[in-house]
Chains A and B, each alone.
Chain A
Amino acid sequence: MTKLESIRTAVNNVQFNRFRFWLQMFFFVLLVYGGFFAIELGKHLPTFACGYNKELRGGMCYLMTLQHQLEWPWQKLFSVAGLTVLTSVGIFFLWFIALNKGWCGFVCPVGTIQDWITSLRRWTGIRYSRYSWGQFQWLMQIKYVLLALMLLIPLGIGGGWFNNDLKSPFCMICPGRTIIPMFGADFSQLSIDFSSKVNMTMTVLGLSVTGLFFIGAFVKKRFFCFYCPMGALHYLFSKPALLRLKKEGSKCTRCGDCFRVCDQEIKIIADDVTRKEIMTDDCIMCLKCVAACPEPGALKATFAGIPIFESTEEGFIKRMKKGHTDVK
């Protein structure tokens, strides 16, 4: 066995959950406490590094920047200054293509918090919920509606149609705004702003969504990711991304393990044996499906076309012996 092959075997046999837990922890510290270490990754990150975490954040979520820019008066937005918006999209794209939706599965602090809540539920022994196929089909549209509103409302503010208090509408309902600053001992986002009717409505909505977030994430794995407009935006840019999830249909036995471990309940991952590019708009690229697949080479993650992690029988057995508890 060559050195390369032995490295590849070691990677494929990795205790994936443990690896992912520590990687998520690393990114959580980087994005939530990065400012403490003088780290600044900019304002165009394709993940929920919340801008309301003012002092400590190591970077900022692009959705906040995008909404701020779209709020510019139209005269400015549709002038040379509009190039700034395009530049921002370009920087976002450069960040995004490196990890594709892996930003959701490995980097997103809000996603990580949901995984911790799932661990808490698992520890209590309470079973988790799943959507029916009909519910799934209906609810999956919500993230696109939120994305459209997130773009149109700021544009409307710039055009003078909407009240300025509606600015950053998605941030106002995002649970990241209320939860992430708390990790830096900033609880100011847990209040209702009575300064105007719009502010009051938006902050009430924001705290209601936060309440739903805790309930939802407790009974449903990655509850919020299913409605996340960042996920929808990711999907629009995902075609040229470097990290990809591929399926070799001829090697698939349709055992359904991948579907069972999928936090997002993506049925197509098990059912579709014709499509090579198996990533869908709901996928968070956590790669748990690859780790749970017993068929050698049936599922694999590639980076710029090079396989970096693929399903193997040996890896599957090793992980099962350690107790693969994701299906709980």
Chain B
Amino acid sequence: MKRTALFVVGWALFQGVYADTLWLSETPPPKRSAENVQLAQPLMEHDHAQHQPMLQTVSSVQATSATAAAGVKKHKHGGGAEVDADGEVVADNTHSGKKQVWMRGGDDPRGAKHLSGVQGTLTLLSQEGALPSVALAEDKGLSTAKLDLPDLGFYNAYWMQNMDHGGMLHVQVAKAELLHGTCCSKGVDDEEVAKPIINVKAPLELVREHYPDEGLFTRIVSGDKVNFTVFSFGLPVAGAKVTMISHKGWQNTQTSDADGRVSFIMIRDYYPSWLEFKKRFKQSYLMTADLQVPSQVTLDGVTYKSAYYNSTLAGSYYPSPHDYRSYAWGLGIGLFVIVFGGLAVYLYRRRRLKPYQEARIDDKA
């Protein structure tokens, strides 16, 4: 009883200190002018057992100001998503095998800061197994990693950090599910390459359940029901708190069931005026999962009194075709043309029809 109370107090204190959510994002910092660049500010310091990243936020602007100033135009298939001045993704790089991910901090998928000074390596898993790890590096003042996805299919990238808070183990897992996709390759067994990947070494992991017919160009759209399973060391785990945060910050929290599953409906939170509507508007969502383990835990040969696992997974979704497509209008226009076109042909033919006229020639005349 005393031990549980201590754990709760410790965890509450810890939450107060370490509130920022760390996640891996494919969305690059927005392009803005160089005047907006801010200096890096220290965010937090911790007594870390293994890795001791010194996290700093940098206004996301800094990173690409040089690129923007140089006027470099990124192409949508060129290996990096294209983001406008407001940070909205205007072209993604699904087709590319070259990806770049950034460390971000905060639970706002739109406004979360791109971080600097984050250390560590990204573990990269494919369907076939582990690929060489990639170290986070500072690029234009931001912590980022460039990844090569050799074959078509899904890949998982993990950044993990273990911390010891007075005998309590805290593991942060930031995961990104990356897709080297294609709309057009027919030589690929979509079902096979679209299978989700599970990391048996991750203390806590969120896995998005792929749709039964999910291929390499499937997009989640608002209105879809998306299922996730929470795994701990490769096994589904019940009782984990899972929160989904939509593009504009709408949140919903659920607790994983006995199979580790949670379900969310991707709500529509994109309401621009018609002239500003973009059907390929890429919206981000952020998933977080928290699991407290009040009992003794041993990790990498070290025993801890308790543990707190936190995992994040970011993804994207698009406006639903139901928002901008109309079958009624389509069929109506098609039928209108058929009916009036048919009528026009009929009347044209009828107008050209010459009535029968018998010509009699009087030989005697």
Contact with A along B325-349 (1 / 0, CB 8 A): 1110111011111100110010001
B274 at the interface (CB under 8 A from A): yes
Which residues of chain A are near B351, meaning CB under 8 Å? none
Of the listed stretches A14-22, A211-219, A238-246, A293-301, name the one at the interface; the rest are far from the partner chain: A211-219
- Are B184 and A76 in contact, with the CB atoms below 8 A? no
A258 at the interface (CB under 8 A from B): no
| Interchain CB contact (< 8 A) of B333 among A187, A194, A208, A219 | A208
- Are A190 and B334 in contact, with the CB atoms below 8 A? yes
- Are B345 and A211 in contact, with the CB atoms below 8 A? no
Give chain A interface residues in 55-103, CB to chain B under 8 Å: 60, 73, 75-76
- Are B325 and A191 in contact, with the CB atoms below 8 A? yes
| Interchain CB contact (< 8 A) of B337 among A51, A76, A129, A215 | A215
- Are A215 and B279 in contact, with the CB atoms below 8 A? no
| Interchain CB contact (< 8 A) of A191 among B187, B327, B342 | B327
CA distance A188 to B275 in the complex (A): 23
B364 at the interface (CB under 8 A from A): no
B211 at the interface (CB under 8 A from A): no
The number of chain B residues touching the other chain, given as a range, is 20 to 34
The B contact surface, by secondary structure, is helix
Which residues of chain B are near A54, meaning CB under 8 Å? 183
Give chain B interface residues in 292-334, CB to chain A under 8 Å: 319, 321, 324-327, 329-331, 333-334
Q: With A187-B327, A190-B330, A219-B345 known to touch, is A195 a contact of B337 (CB < 8 Å)?
A: no
A256 at the interface (CB under 8 A from B): no
CA distance A188 to B322 in the complex (A): 11
Q: With A195-B277, A212-B337, A212-B341 known to touch, is A40 a contact of B325 (CB < 8 Å)?
A: no
A151 at the interface (CB under 8 A from B): no
A207 at the interface (CB under 8 A from B): yes
- Are A194 and B325 in contact, with the CB atoms below 8 A? yes
| Interchain CB contact (< 8 A) of B278 among A195, A210, A216 | A195
- Are B337 and A190 in contact, with the CB atoms below 8 A? no
- Are A207 and B333 in contact, with the CB atoms below 8 A? yes
A193 at the interface (CB under 8 A from B): yes
B350 at the interface (CB under 8 A from A): no
- Are B333 and A211 in contact, with the CB atoms below 8 A? yes
Contact with B along A155-199 (1 / 0, CB 8 A): 000000000000000000000001000000001101111111101
| Interchain CB contact (< 8 A) of B329 among A35, A188, A192, A215 | A192
- Are A207 and B187 in contact, with the CB atoms below 8 A? no
CA distance A215 to B327 in the complex (A): 21
Which residues of chain A are near B75, meaning CB under 8 Å? 73, 76
CB of B340, distance to nearest CB on chain A (Å): 9
CB of B98, distance to nearest CB on chain A (Å): 15
CB of A125, distance to nearest CB on chain B (Å): 14
CA distance A309 to B272 in the complex (A): 63
Which residues of chain B are near A40, meaning CB under 8 Å? 186-187
B2 at the interface (CB under 8 A from A): no
CA distance A176 to B277 in the complex (A): 28
CA distance A216 to B338 in the complex (A): 9
| Interchain CB contact (< 8 A) of B324 among A195, A214, A218 | A195
CA distance A244 to B223 in the complex (A): 55
B201 at the interface (CB under 8 A from A): no
Closest to B213 in A: A55
- Are B277 and A196 in contact, with the CB atoms below 8 A? yes
Nearest first, the 3 A-B pairs at minimum CB distance are A211-B337, A195-B279, A215-B341
Q: A35-B186, A215-B341 are in contact. List 6 more A-B contacts (CB 8 A).
A: A187-B327, A191-B329, A192-B326, A207-B337, A210-B337, A215-B345
A sample of 28 inter-chain contacts (CB < 8 A) reads A43-B184, A51-B184, A73-B73, A73-B75, A75-B73, A129-B345, A187-B327, A188-B325, A191-B325, A191-B330, A192-B326, A192-B333, A194-B326, A195-B277, A196-B278, A203-B330, A207-B330, A207-B333, A207-B334, A207-B337, A208-B334, A208-B337, A211-B334, A211-B336, A212-B337, A215-B342, A215-B345, A218-B342
